[in-house]
């Protein structure tokens, strides 16, 4: 199986060290332009299978599309975003990350890509994110069209965050701070 064929999740979880950071850079369309050795090892990719391909190649089907819509909308506003993400390695294993994604701008102020650093998340934060994401995915699956699914999932996310009196960023930081008191 190559990195660019349909990968089925195996249910096997992979992790990486607390002292390791996964780093990737992409162009403005999300095409990988740089991947460090930790990314390659954890995702089970070779450099040739990563560079020049969409970052979505590691998208796990458990991840709600609404979270990625929120990510891209935030980046388009030239803002950074922190998120808990479940990724899919090309061998079918999955791994969770606490991601920090930022726009990269050139000297003229043009966005020329994105930079993402990912750390190993704490299990309680993963459990809380996974619970919310399962609800969002279930909402997405109730809709036949992708646009309607994402819109409905975003509406549910907004409803849940409003009920908590939080933004998504505040939700993420609450999970992070609970895990690291």
Domain 22-179: CATH class, spelled out: alpha beta
Higher pLDDT, 2 or 112: 112
Asked if residue 181 has pLDDT above 60, the reply is no
Under the banding of pLDDT at 50, 70 and 90, the label for residue 1 is very low
- Computed over every residue of the chain, the mean pLDDT equals 94
User: For the whole model, what pTM was predicted?
Assistant: 0.93
Question: Could you tell me the pLDDT band of residue 47, with boundaries at 50, 70 and 90?
Answer: very high
Q: Where are the domains of the chain?
A: 22-179
Cα(51)–Cα(26) distance, integer angstroms:
9
In the predicted model, is pLDDT for residue 104 greater than 60?
Answer: yes
Q: What tens digit of pLDDT does each residue of 11-42 get?
A: 999 999 999 999 999 999 999 999 999 999 99
What burial letters (b/e) apply to 44-81, b meaning 16+ CB within 10 Å? bbeeebbbebebebbbbeebbbbbbbbbeebbeeeeeb
């Amino acid at each position: 199986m190559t990195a660019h064929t349909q990968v089925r999740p195996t249910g096997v979880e992979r992790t990486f060290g607390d002292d390791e950071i996964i780093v990737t850079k992409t162009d403005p369309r999300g095409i990988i332009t740089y991947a460090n050795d930790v990314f390659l090892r954890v995702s089970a990719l070779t450099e040739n299978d990563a560079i020049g391909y969409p970052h979505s190649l590691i998208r796990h089907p458990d991840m709600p599309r609404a979270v990625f819509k929120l990510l891209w909308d935030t980046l388009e506003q030239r803002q950074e975003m922190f998120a808990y993400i479940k990724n899919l390695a090309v061998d079918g294993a999955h791994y969770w990350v606490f991601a920090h994604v930022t726009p990269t701008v050139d000297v003229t102020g043009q966005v020329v890509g994105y930079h993402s650093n990912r750390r190993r998340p704490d299990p309680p934060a993963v459990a809380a994110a996974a619970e919310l994401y399962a609800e969002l995915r279930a909402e997405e699956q109730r809709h036949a069209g992708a646009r309607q699914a994402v819109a409905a999932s975003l509406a549910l996310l907004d409803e849940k965050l409003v009920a908590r009196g939080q933004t998504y960023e505040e939700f993420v930081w609450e999970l992070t701070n609970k895990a690291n008191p």
